[in-house]
Structure 1
């Protein structure tokens, strides 16, 4: 990814809703961290226009793409976006376990996911 991606004007910015999953799918933790920390307000605005929530979108995409490095960055707070992983109705821990992905399941446990939520 070229550095000029981060210097574009608002009208030239890509659709973050499609760009973020490609970074997650390739488990490009550093690029994802750089994008979100440099453009967080714009990214959140792009997601909010579509009634999506970035804080839910990221962990579920990490699970779907088995992107443990990106999941760890999310859980450690490196992305500037947080999610209460024990929030009723949002259960990325259970999805990771159901998908039989032990690395991310263990990460959620490490960061305090409760199994009985």
Structure 2
């Protein structure tokens, strides 16, 4: 069921963004627990913190983060409650990105409640 009332959608999006601000990158589908998180590299991989802002009609936008990654293929991002460990909140598939050497991935997260 789609949520018909825009202010209700926005209220849900605003609540959702309070659950986690840390963005992760994954080499395959992380399931419901956040498996297959990236590792390694120099500079080393680490989750990056986004700052969520409210929009309208069920949208919350995160600030862009730059994630350092080792050579490899990356297919998902995740949202976590902490920079390490923490609670895995959600995931999103991304266009498969293959790095032949150390590199960076720029991520601008958006939450849309419909």
The answer, yes or no, to whether TM exceeds 0.5 is no
TM-score range, shorter chain: under 0.3
TM normalised by structure 1 equals 0.26
| Higher helix content, 1 or 2 | 1
TM normalised by structure 2 equals 0.26
Higher relative contact order (CA 8 A, sep 6+): 2
